[in-house]
Structure 1
């Protein structure tokens, strides 16, 4: 019964998101496109943090690699939307495998700091490789995607939003299926007791490398979504702030609850960019206050909090 209710709610939410360009202004579609890009990045990070117990402070690296790849492919090879998307997925996954061979051999604080170090090195490389990345100026003037081979560039915000929504839904389903599969159950065992999993015969190195590669590939897809919306990418998209925002979204939403990461990404994006703009650019300050309040009042995040139980207890207290 609970699974059926969850499925109905998910269907209603998806239909509501599909209807956004039909009933709301184009600016709303643009905002939601940015939310969905960060949301997919946060969901891929939650696969590491919440499901696998591998906290990362460098998840912006595969995101940025995917974004730069999508930008270069769109500009120089083909703007047909699936082409830069697939290129971003492949490069994000390859980057994760190459760097993960070193990183997944560590754990805890060492893993956390090594992910940060790799991300910072990638950030510096993007700043200095002017001929490829445009240096500190970034890549701009990226053509709009097309939805048919050799077709017209997409100029309507609603059409671009529907493409980004489609990529998000596919990416979310892939991460959700991974977390529910045999691999996902093994990863939860790895999170809870890696030594015991090793003693049972599991190859913990391959498990960790596999999930790291999947998370990197999905983060690369999120990078392609970011470029499709903004048509610009810079070294800042590989910076610590992006990794921190994704991790903050996971914590606010509730670790291990994939839909919670989506909710957290929406809160982070809207508070920092939209509400912050109305408060004279004080979005980061407001976001910090929201995080402090959430940590104290909702230590398990929005998705991990038993709202029904809280309501029942409060009702019982009022009756008493």
Structure 2
């Protein structure tokens, strides 16, 4: 299929999914509304994955780490400090950003598959730590009975699954809008320039390492915010919410939605998670196999499949190809 046809199909699917998300709480039961709220939280983590993988060119399997940090921070705030939603989201974003900042030295000098493996290791270490730090995280039993959130100061708590879903949808929409606005500025241009030709950007005098560190921390903040929404959706959190299978599903959703599109990543992640939950009921025990086959098929059906270099010199399906005009100036010409 041509690029134009794929883009048109993605826009149509995205419009249908977004319309369904808005109308969903009045068309489904409370249990399904709670599942959809959790799916939206994961969709926001998918946005952070797309920000790093598709926009900045840093493939990651470790965004579940700041996601977990944000979830546990939000749960602790809900039980000991405040039940106000914006406070919990802010604390969760700070926790996710702080964890990402700690891992910056590991990421800033690595590229391609090396980043992928480093982030995977960080994610697994965080899950292991969460399972053993019982005094804070509750260990493998998790934290249960978390107090319901109130959307703003002075407002009643969200006592129904529909209300919690609508709150989650509103927060996701606001945060997605902020990310899209930032990417339309010079910041977004520099991130894409570093993804397409890092050496040329560095030769032009830009501080690429600081740029990579900044987007890594920003992605952690977005994923941390999603952790607060997970707590709102299920009022429970455990290490099982942040395993490798979640990381793999997030990357699959980002690839399906178009790795260079953060809005598409949200839609793709929602589709993949919803399909996973449906397949678990239809094909017990076979859902991972079906999703794995879907990932392989997606890679080869997307324009360029696995052939286009776009992740700072590495391979990633679904990201526009790097353009190399024959008359590209040399680094010495750029400095001149």
Q: Give the alignment's TM-score, normalised by structure 2.
A: 0.82
Residue 293 of structure 2 aligns with which residue?
A: 289
**Does structure 2 retain, via aligned residues, the 8 Å contact 1:58–1:243?**
yes
Residue 47 (str. 1) matches residue 66 (str. 2): no
Residues in 2 aligned to 1:99 and 1:229: alpha-carbon distance in whole angstroms: 28
Cα displacement string for residues 138-190 of structure 1 (whole angstroms, at most 9, x for unaligned residues): 11111211234365432211111111001111111122122222111101111
**Does structure 1 retain, via aligned residues, the 8 Å contact 2:89–2:228?**
yes
Residue 279 (str. 1) matches residue 283 (str. 2): yes
Residue 34 of structure 1 aligns with which residue?
A: 38
Residue 222 (str. 1) matches residue 226 (str. 2): yes
Shift of residue 213, structure 1, vs aligned partner:
1.1
Cα displacement string for residues 172-212 of structure 1 (whole angstroms, at most 9, x for unaligned residues): 11221222221111011111111111110000011011111
Residue 118 of structure 2 aligns with which residue?
A: 114
Residues in 2 aligned to 1:274 and 1:18: alpha-carbon distance in whole angstroms: 20
**Greater fraction helix:** 1
Residues in 2 aligned to 1:165 and 1:47: alpha-carbon distance in whole angstroms: 19
Residue 86 of structure 1 aligns with which residue?
A: 90
Residues in 2 aligned to 1:252 and 1:7: alpha-carbon distance in whole angstroms: 12
Residue 235 of structure 2 aligns with which residue?
A: 231
Which blocks of at least 5 consecutive residues in structure 2 are unaligned? Answer: 1-9, 306-316, 320-336
Count of matched residue positions in the alignment of Structure 1 and Structure 2: 300
Which blocks of at least 5 consecutive residues in structure 1 are unaligned? Answer: 1-5, 306-320
Alpha-carbon spacing, 1:8–1:49, altered in 2? closer, same or farther (3 Å) = closer
Q: Give the alignment's TM-score, normalised by structure 1.
A: 0.85
Alpha-carbon spacing, 1:262–1:141, altered in 2? closer, same or farther (3 Å) = same
Residue 158 of structure 1 aligns with which residue?
A: 162
Q: How does 1:1-320 map to 2 (within 5 A)?
A: 17-149=21-153, 152-299=156-303
**Does structure 2 retain, via aligned residues, the 8 Å contact 1:100–1:212?**
yes
Cα displacement string for residues 275-305 of structure 1 (whole angstroms, at most 9, x for unaligned residues): 322222422122122222222323569x969
The worse-fitting range, judged by mean Cα deviation, of 6-15 and 104-113 is 6-15
